[in-house]
A and B are shown apart, each in its own frame.
Chain A
Amino acid sequence: MKKLVASVLCLALLAVVLSGCGSSSNNTSSNTSTNSASAVTGSIAMDGSSALLPLAQTAATQFQAKNPDCAITVNGGGSGTGLNDVLAGTVDIGNSDVYANEKLTAADAAKLVDHKVAVIGVAPIVNADVAAKVKTLTSSQLLGIFTGTTKNWSEVGGPSEAITIINRPSSSGTRSLFQKWALGGQKSAEGSTSLQTDDSKALLTTVGSTKGAIGYVALSYLTNPNPQVGTVGIDGVDASYANIYSNKYQVWGYEHMYTNGQPKANVKAFLDFMTSAEMSGTIESSGYGVIASLNSAAAASR
């Protein structure tokens, strides 16, 4: 027994020594290769918006590839969690789909610094049955559907199917964007034909599997083709970033990264990277929009 313990200890010691050697040699080699670039060090923690999460993760991976000495942790949790945590100082960056003053009190919102990193468009989506016939709705038709006055798709040129509304919870950032810009601030009807889902992925599944269903998701959830659902244009304008940039499509908002006061050096470096020209390709291929591409009228509309 004692022998066994002794030999295990020896092995462990050996492993420590060997790994020590290994890592030190790694350090020297990585130092020589990254010394030329401006090396960002330290750690950055962020959480919040689940809509911004995929982009934040991609950006973090790319940033870390360039700055191997910087450790970035990215979590979701919802915009409320992001704002809570950045205010409490438990994370460096709080991600949010909405302006901080839409959730926090004015006094708390004033402590945070807003960094707009991307544009997010929101599109109405319908079940494939409806999408085959209905390509676009007027604003008033859309309002009629969501306020419950229009109850059957045949009233707006679709198949004879009862309309089922699939909402997000009333605290959702996507819902508040859709309500503000697609429904003119009117509230969606609650009732037995109006359901809710916890998140956008579940909403896509539910709209895809429910005949006559209509909902809305951020364009970042529509980058992969999904034959079960189709998007619907508003007043003849399709939900695309080209139309958002040219101020033709109105249902969009900014994705925000909030810091508590001015960001420290490494966080600032990351935020600069997020909005750099280098990231714009990644932003668009992930289903988000580039702020710099907005024309002046579109930028002035928010």
Chain B
Amino acid sequence: MKESKLRKLKTEYLGRTIVTVFGISIIVLTLAILAFLGYKGSATFLVNRHSLASFLFSSNWDPQQAGQTGSVGSAVFIVGTLEVAALALLIATPFSLAVAIFISDLAPRVGQRFLRPIVEIFVGIPSVVYGWLGLTVLVPFVAKIFHLPFGFSVLSAGLVLAVMIFPTITSVAADALQATPLESKEASYALGSTRWQMIRRVALRYGRTGILTGIVLGLARACGEALAVAMVVGQSNSFAHGILAPTNTITAVITSSMGNTVNGSEYNNALWSLAFLLLLISLVFIIVIRVIGRQREER
């Protein structure tokens, strides 16, 4: 009797306890980060008495330290972040879709054996390398092509980000396309479709929600990427009046100033608020992905 209890402890409870502890600690960690960012980020409004509207909609960014107060208008960074991410998405999505279709339907053997591993190599390249390449190759190139005094621009940042989010969108979209049931494909061919008609009317339609999920994941990554964007966007505290103009992003302003501010100062609090805002933006994306996923389950 005792023996079997010990056995049961070993074969069942031990494993279950370990898995549960790790699972719960991840949940606790996530909630703790959320709570900490919320607490730190709220100081701008509760301690420094700035209104939410002036934080979100004003472009007057001049926070102070040493117990003084200035202004924390972050509209430039918020708009800049969204602009750069949207442009990256616009550039990356056509490439990603084409490569995903190639892998899933046009040349599955070559695609699966060579193209997919090559796409996955992109993920492994550290962002500082992308930023550096952008700074030394892309930025001078953009300046030369468009006859600008400098190439730091929304376009440069969008291009660098596009390369960075391309593998994410591609692999999720390829998975979605590959999940198209063989019967549906064969039925389409049996009705006389060409391969392109099958891809367009069956595979793309079937994989639509999966592709959308990939795009939203790419968008979330684009908003959160700091280093590479900071190196090529120019970090100019002004709205971009075109894609060839420089601007600034939330991540860039946080990384460039966090080491120079002291805890509890208005400047530091404003950076925490920006970090919390970034977290909220990515939460929105996650909710969007969940909603898309639920639609897929219902179908």
Contact = CB atoms under 8 A, between A and B. Distances in A.
A169 B256 contact: yes
A104 B262 contact: yes
A84 B262 contact: yes
The residue in A80, A83, A102 that gathers the most chain B C-beta atoms within 10 A of its C-beta is: A80
A197 interface: yes
Contact of A212 (B149, B234, B235, B240): B149
Nearest to B231: A202
Contacts of B253: 169
Interface string A83-102: 11001000000000000011
Contact of A194 (B139, B231, B238, B260): B238
Interface residues of B, number: 39
Interface in B131-150: 135, 139-140, 143, 149-150
B241 A171 contact: no
The size bracket of the interface on A is 35 or more
A213 B148 CA distance: 13
B44 interface: no
A191 interface: yes
A78 B260 CA distance: 5
A242 to B, nearest CB: 30
Contacts of B261: 80, 103, 171
Contact of B241 (A76, A87, A192): A192
Contacts of A169: 235, 253, 256-257, 260
The residue in B140, B253, B259 that gathers the most chain A C-beta atoms within 10 A of its C-beta is: B259
Interface of B: 61-63, 65-67, 135, 139-140, 143, 149-150, 152, 230-231, 234-238, 240-241, 245-246, 248, 253, 255-265, 267-268
30 contacts: A76-B259, A79-B259, A79-B260, A81-B259, A102-B66, A103-B265, A104-B66, A105-B66, A106-B67, A108-B262, A164-B149, A169-B235, A169-B256, A169-B260, A171-B260, A172-B260, A190-B236, A192-B240, A193-B236, A195-B235, A195-B236, A196-B235, A198-B230, A202-B231, A205-B135, A209-B139, A209-B140, A210-B149, A211-B149, A212-B149
Interface of A: 50, 76-81, 83-84, 87, 101-106, 108-109, 161-162, 164, 169-173, 187, 190-198, 202, 205, 209-213
Given A106-B66, A210-B149, 10 more contacts: A103-B265, A109-B66, A190-B61, A190-B237, A191-B236, A193-B149, A198-B235, A198-B255, A209-B139, A211-B149
